[in-house]
Structure 1
Amino acid sequence: YIVSDCDSVGVLYNTQHYTRTPEEAAADAIKAAIHTEGAVRGGLLREEDVNLALAYTITVQMRLGMFDGEPSAQPFGNLGPRDVCTPAHQQLALQAAHQGIVLLKNSARTLPLSTLRHHTVAVIGPNSDVTVTMIGNYAGVACGYTTPLQGISRYAKTIHQAGCFGVACNGNQLIGAAEVAARQADATVLVMGLDQSIEAEFIDRAGLLLPGRQQELVSRVAKASRGPVVLVLMCGGPVDVSFAKNDPRIGAILWVGYPGQAGGAAIADVLFGRANPGGKLPMTWYPQDYVSRLPMTDMRMRAARGYPGRTYRFYKGPVVFPFGHGMSYTTFAHTLSKAPNQFSVPIATSLYAFKNTTISSNAIRVAHTNCNDAMSLGLHVDIKNTGDMAGTHTLLVFAKPPAGNWSPNKQLIGFKKVHVTAGALQSVRLDIHVCKHLSVVDKFGIRRIPMGEHSLHIGDLKHSISLQANLEGIKF
């Protein structure tokens, strides 16, 4: 069932002006399975609609055992303080932070650092010793924090300099001390980025660059550093760090998001190779000039003249880092062991509908075919760890429709995460459903399955599947 976010039904009327009255907002909400009152009295809703919404809610409560008698006798009836911040929960927080870290750059195997060679590490940046910043917003009370500085201190002696007064970094008074620290250390880790004062609900960024003098801090410290330089970005949204990507003195870049209470421990584990990063970027990282070509009043997805389009599916311009990007300390090889080359799409409609609406622009309406399990195609992929370190690999599968009036770029249709030890091979199966994954929505909002060659991008492999219409199911 569906429930609303806090105040969202009111927002429909008060802020978005979607309806003329609060009662109409309530009626629209309950039709989407959100329970509220008032609309029934005004005749906008039937009592049956309310009963149906209530049934959805009660069904979930029944699954939780809330109608099975004395709560204390039920599986979830004795939860209390002892169930909060258990060792298992804290370990889960660390695992989540490990899995969320994305390795964006690693020139000449800068990472992982070595405890044998890097005895002293300069830890620099406005996010280098933060706590609450790591949990972002809409979070509970943390059990305790391990800051990046504390995490790195478990592996090496540290020299700490903030380099800035907060992430706004409005001055360069502290940069000199940061340069001195970098000259004294065997390696330098810069923990930069944003926080809730820069990006949050009701706080939008006007650009994609690092705030204030952060870029100056990074560049000057990298130039002064005696050893390898690693840039760690703590932020929720993308940042244009082209300068760091192109700077040969900055050997590695990590994006850690807002990694939670164990974020500092996870960052240190990845820096020193105790954990192998396997995260993938969940969004495209655009260059700064992208913002100037994308008015916030224009929410179109598809590109047009003078308009770049949104997301990896429609935007074709230059990027800082692409959607799905993420490196590892090891290497993986893919082999497609089994995959269909062609498939006949059955048509289940009348001859009249077929002639008039089923086939359009060499595509079949999804509503006019049998979208059952027989429409699922199995892809079998062998993933081999060809490096010298165990790692987790997320296999991404993209599909690109045949040439035509469709989305011009590929789109993600499936993924599978596997852990593979060094030298080992794992076989995975991904099911590609023709109706769900190979269909597109045309300019009229109708979902269709284009006929012809569909190109699948499976990791670094490419495979084509030819779809043809099967006319045997037409009703005469």
Structure 2
Amino acid sequence: KWLLTEVLRDEWGFEGFVVSDYASITGILKKHCVAATPEETAKLALEAGLDVELPRVEYYGDALIKAVKEGLVSEEVVNEAVRRVLRAKFLIGLFDNPFADPDEAEKVCGCKEHAELALQAARKAIVLLKNEGSILPLDKEKIKSIAVLGPLSDELKLGGYSGLPPRMVTPLEAIRQKVKPGTKVYHAKGCSIAPGKAIPIPSEYLAPPDAKPGEHGLKGEYFDNPNLSGEPILVRIDEQVNFDWGLGSPDPRIPCDNFSVRWTGKLIPPETGIYELYLITDDGVRLWIDGKLLIDSWYDRGETMDRVRIRLEAGRAYDIRIEYYEHTGSAKAQLAWNYKGKYPDEFEKAVKLAEQADVAVVFVGIIEGEGKDRASLRLPGLQEDLIEKIINTGTPTIVVLMTGSAVVGEWIEKVPAIIQAWYPGQEGGTAIAEVLFGEYNPGGKLPFTWPRHEGQLPLYYNYKPSGRGYDYVDMPGTPLFPFGHGLSYTEFQYSNLKIEADEEKGYVKVSVDVENVGKMKGDEVVQLYIRDVVASVARPLKELKGFKRITLNPGERKTVTFTLTPDDLAFFDLNMRRVVEPGAFEVMIGSSSEDIRLRGKFEVKKKITASFECTELKPEKASGKPGETIKVTAKVKNVGPISDIIPVKLYVNGKEVDCKRIDLSPNEVREISFKLKFPERGEYKVSVGIPELKLTASIQIQ
């Protein structure tokens, strides 16, 4: 209740509705054990401020109805939750136009304008982390062959719970479209992004029941229910069990949720030895080898990896059966293995193709999302080995990362060029290819500090000085790539820093000239940092207070202007009140938090704080009966130049009876409600204070 009501709604002024995480309400009863019955569970959740239960009604149905009938929960609390939900529906027009035309939606979703927007987003997000020797951009005229390698070379990582777009352009497709006619494009994935050195079991080691000569894979039977019952809707031969359907389904005839699959056939290992078999699934899965149940994880869960060790003999055909079901959310099923630490044929193929090519581009990534927390920032599986082997061929190598966070590894120091593509969306392949060949000049910047090693975490640019060194015995304490870092194919020159400060009021205008002194059109993100030189509490060495992205042609110059307000200069003092203290401030302008090009200073002459006014106190009625609930509403305005949190206190006959903290920005007005019950007849003086200024109203209880 403190978080959802006192902080979120009262202090921050949130007016929307709160939705539970999937099946989280049941944790009150079954995991945290702070309720004894479903009715008590519903009461605790609803009274805390949780308005909607997901994924299905378990506690806000019969249990809540019973709780209301038994007097555990008041109808007033239910009405408040309903009001918040209905308010949102009215705001977005659901009652004005409740039905969408599916045909019209089909025309709009994935239209040309959407694809262009997706391409622009992918382009602008890409960060060029490293480009030694200006290996990038690649020259189409000089390149006769290119190796497109890595587990993500022919697929796109879209991120957890992403929808499936109507079309996707993979890096391999886009590169084939971009290269000059006659250029050889070699391709091999080499490995997967699965952890544990595992790779999806290749089709040549799988055979369906009653396989014909040369037929490989497993027989897949697909059901439109989660329990493999009835006749399958679809029967086919799947070359591998290596599927990531996301929020989609295996086939238009099969629903996105509540389906199941049975794969059967033979597993024929190439060598005798101890194998690790992996099933990476979301939701439930079971595995039998020669009729023996080895994995039994038949329950709802996020993406999880099950593993079993088993001795297998070369050339022997083992019966294999996999049963899988998908309940709700994302759907994934992958059968992988690892044996004797030997590199698979696909891995060796990728390295050989790199040897033959003029340049190699390696696409790698990590498993991320709900239920996929990692203990390491290393690239999982064989990906690091693959990069190292390709680098060792001597072929110029570029690594493209599709991740939502940083990765570490020795290979980063060895490879000449690294592109961070994030989760680039449906047009990601095109955007990456444009950057590789110089059709688009990358201008993205890192929104976090990139560590050298997990041991540095947490790592951030805006730390407070400690007076101690930050280096480790075996590693420098500096980041691998600083916050705000991002390279370009051109160069930008900064000059003419101007600072105009209103020293009394704390408003500051900062301007700087930026010129493209290179030979290519490009974007620069100009970043403004400040430092409070002397303060009553320790302040960060620098803080980002503004950034602007500009596009410049070769030789073009633009003036970039920022306006700092007192709110940008304020901090919490020893009394936990936000304040701008008199004194000097340093201004730093640069291309990243560490690439500072220009510095300057300004001063503030006087202390600046927030200032609040109570503009209205209004009981919903002037009179009432003993025990009746009466709502009292007050309006508070921040008339000062900085935001702050202020306690608003409610008094009855001079005695404090309630207090709510509110966070107000400059010039923001907030309406705050209190609920009062008066036990006896008489006249009551109700006052509100913030806390010095008070407004008073009278309520007569008769």
The two structures share one fold, judged by TM-score above 0.5:
yes
Q: 1:433-462, CA deviations, whole angstroms, 9 ceiling, x for partnerless residues? A: 112x11223466433323322222222222
CA distance in 1, matches of 2:570, 2:357: 55
- Residue 2 of structure 1 is matched in structure 2 by 16
Task: Report the equivalent of 2:578.
Answer: 447
Q: 2:433 aligns to what?
A: 268
Cα gap change, 1:122 to 1:443, in 2 (>3 Å): farther
State the partner residue of 2:378: 209
Deviating beyond 6 angstroms after TM superposition, the runs of 4 or more aligned structure 1 residues are 35-40, 42-46, 53-56, 301-308
Q: Tell me whether 1:142 sits opposite 2:165 in the alignment.
A: yes
Deviations 1:174-229 (A, max 9, x none): 4432222112111110111213xxx2212211111222332222122112133x21
Amino acid at match of 1:402: V
| Cross-structure match for 1:159 | 186
**Pair 181,450 (structure 1): closer, same or farther in 2 beyond 3 Å:** farther
Q: Look up the SS of the partner of 2:587 in the other structure.
A: strand
Cα gap change, 1:4/1:395 in structure 2, threshold over 3 Å: closer, same or farther?
farther
Q: Report the Cα distance in structure 1 between the residues aligned to 2:554 and 2:467, rounded to whole angstroms.
A: 49
- Taking the aligned partners of 1:141 and 1:445, their CA distance within structure 2 comes to 47
**2:113 maps to which of 76, 85, 88:** 88
Contact 1:167 1:193 in 2 (8 A): no
- From 424, 430, 454, the equivalent of 1:259 is 424
How has the CA–CA distance of structure 1 residues 178 and 77 changed in structure 2, closer, same or farther, with 3 Å as cutoff?
Answer: closer
Per-residue Cα deviation, 1:280-302 (whole angstroms, up to 9, x for no partner): 111111122426x769xxxxx97
CA distance in 2, matches of 1:328, 1:83: 35
- Alignment match, 1:423: 555
**In the alignment, which residue of structure 1 is the partner of 2:366?**
194
Q: Comparing both chains, which one has the higher relative contact order based on Cα–Cα distances under 8 Å and sequence gaps of 6 or more?
A: 1
Whole-angstrom CA distance in 2 between matches of 1:407 and 1:466:
16
1:414-450 CA-to-partner distances (Å, cap 9, x unmatched) read 2112222222122332221112x11223466433323
Q: Which residue of 2 aligns with 1:366?
A: none
Query: Are 1:120 and 2:145 counterparts?
Result: yes
Selected match of 1:391 from 495, 505, 522: 522
Cα distance change, pair 164–399 in 1 and its aligned pair in 2 (3 A): same
Q: 2:47 corresponds to which residue?
A: 27
Please give the residue correspondences for 1:234-253 in structure 2 after superposition, counting only pairs within 5 Å.
234-241=402-409, 243-247=410-414, 250-253=415-418
Name which one, 1 or 2, has greater alpha-carbon Rg. 2
Matched, 1:462 2:599: yes
Aligned with 1:152: secondary structure? helix
Report if aligned partners of 2:499, 2:510 keep a CA contact under 8 Å in 1. Answer: yes
Query: Cα distance, 1:57 vs. partner?
Result: 5.8
For structure 2, the residue ranges without an aligned partner over 5 or more in a row are: 1-14, 54-59, 199-340, 471-475, 591-596, 612-691, 693-702
Identify the structure with the greater strand proportion: 2
Of 343, 350, 362, which aligns to 2:503? 343
Cα distance in 2, alignment partners of residues 99 and 88 from structure 1: 17
- Provide the C-alpha distance between the structure 2 equivalents of 1:385 and 1:15, rounded to a whole number of angstroms: 62
| Contact 1:27–1:45 (Cα < 8 Å) also in 2 | no
Aligned to 2:491: 331
Name stretches of at least 5 consecutive residues in structure 1 with no aligned partner.
296-300, 309-315, 346-374
**Which residue number corresponds to residue 182 of structure 1?**
354
- 1:232 matched residue in structure 2: 400
Distance 1:4 1:331, change over 3 A: farther
What is the one-letter code of the residue matched to 1:272?
Answer: F
1:409 to partner: Cα distance:
2.8
1:238-292 CA-to-partner distances (Å, cap 9, x unmatched) read 1114x33422xx221101111112111111111001111111111111122426x
Measured after TM superposition, the shift of residue 96 of structure 1 is 1.1
Match of 2:121, SS? Answer: helix
Q: CA RMSD in A?
A: 3.8
Whole-angstrom distance in 2 between the partners of 1:16 and 1:409: 43
CA distance in 1 between partners of 2:47 and 2:561 (Å)? 44
Among 536, 541, 544, the alignment partner of 1:409 is 541
Flag the 1:179–1:71 CA change in 2: closer, same or farther, 3 A.
Answer: closer
For 2:554 and 2:604, how far apart are their aligned partners in 1? 38
Describe the shift of the 1:19–1:378 C-alpha distance in structure 2 as closer, same or farther (beyond 3 A): farther
- The 1-side partners of 2:531 and 2:518 are apart by 30
With normalisation by structure 1, the TM-score equals: 0.75
Q: Provide the secondary structure at the position in 2 that maps to 1:97.
A: helix
- The offset of 1:89, in angstroms, is 0.7
Q: 1:47 Cα shift?
A: 4.3
Which whole-Å CA distance do the structure 2 matches of 1:48 and 1:464 have between them? 54
Once the two structures are TM-superposed, the CA of residue 43 in structure 1 deviates from its matched residue by 8.4
Q: Secondary structure of 2:434's partner?
A: helix
Task: Specify the code of the residue in structure 2 equivalent to 1:230.
Answer: I
Write 1 or 2 for the structure with the bigger share of helix: 1
- Deviation (angstroms), 1:98: 0.8
1:42-79 per-position Cα deviation (integer Å, ceiling 9, x unaligned): 6888949956x7776666655544555x668x9x9984
Q: Verify the 8 A CA contact 1:24 1:44 in the aligned structure 2.
A: no
Find the residue that maps to 1:469 and give its secondary structure: coil
Q: Distance in 1 between matches of 2:124 and 2:34?
A: 43
The TM-score, its normalising length taken from structure 2, stands at 0.53
For residue 468 of structure 1, report the CA deviation from its aligned partner: 2.2
Cα 1:470–1:221, aligned 2, differ >3 Å: closer, same or farther?
closer
Q: Number of residues paired by the alignment?
A: 416
Cα offset for 1:81?
A: 1.2
Q: How does 1:48-67 map to 2 (within 5 A)?
A: 61=89, 64-66=92-94
State the shift of 1:119 in Å.
Answer: 2.5
Q: Which sits farther off after the overlay, 14-23 or 384-393? A: 14-23
Deviations 1:59-118 (A, max 9, x none): 6655544555x668x9x9984211111011111111111111100011121111011011
Residues 414 and 184 from structure 1, CA distance in 2 versus in 1: closer, same or farther, beyond 3 angstroms?
Answer: same
Q: Identity across aligned pairs (percent)?
A: 30
The farther-off stretch of 21-30 and 318-327 is 21-30
**Aligned in 2, Cα 1:431/1:13: closer, same or farther, shift over 3 Å?**
farther
Aligned to 1:409, what secondary structure does the other structure show? Answer: coil
2:404 and 2:34 mapped to 1: Cα distance? 33
CA distance in 1, matches of 2:111, 2:599: 46
Selected match of 1:432 from 538, 542, 564: 564
